[in-house]
Amino acid sequence: MWKGTQNTDYNGMVLFEPTALRDYYGRIRKGTNIFARFMKTEDGDEVLRRGIVVPILAIDDASYTVIVRRADEVSPVDSDVIVTNGVFPFHVRREAVIADLAVFRDWEEDLDWHRVPIPSGRYSVTVRGFRRLAKRKHKILDAGYEFVLSSVRRLARPTGKTGKAMRTLRFD
């Protein structure tokens, strides 16, 4: 299990495989807006299908607790989960990274990347959003996201939705 903190400045975060992303695009120049390519072309759907990127989109800019764990590990936030988003395929060849979505808007290698120790292999990933409340119930003590990985032989078809409401800092 890996636990860390991710700051977001561009309304999202991503778990991704940098080697596979570089192989998909070839050389990625500093400052390239990969996110625009994801939105305007089939590239976004293709990187999801190939298991290169697992996104959490349309969330509030904030600092979040992030947990990456195997499905057979006990969740430290199970009772606080408020939203779950389907399945995303993920294929780790060399390394896995968590970063602010801004890294895809203005590409800069290694800028605020958090390397996550996930062994090489194919995974089915479920994203779960959690919020821990104070006893008063309207004070948030902690909020964040959990990437739950199950090892698979073949990459699953993505059932997670990039447009799903995944906010954990609001009560609406």
Q: Provide, rounded to the nearest whole percent, the portion of the chain with pLDDT above 70.
A: 99
Structure confidence by residue, pLDDT tens digits, 56-90: 999 999 999 999 999 999 999 999 999 999 999 99
Q: Give the separation between CA 149 and CA 68, rounded to whole angstroms.
A: 8
- The pTM score is 0.95
What pLDDT does residue 171 have? 75
Domain range annotation of the chain: 2-151
Residue with tokens 């070839």: 26
Q: How far apart are CA 108 and CA 172, in angstroms?
A: 35
CB–CB of 169/64 below 8 Å? no
pLDDT at 116: 98
Q: For the structural domain made of 2-151, what CATH number should be given?
A: 2.60.34.30
Asked whether residue 172 carries a pLDDT value surpassing 70, the answer given is no
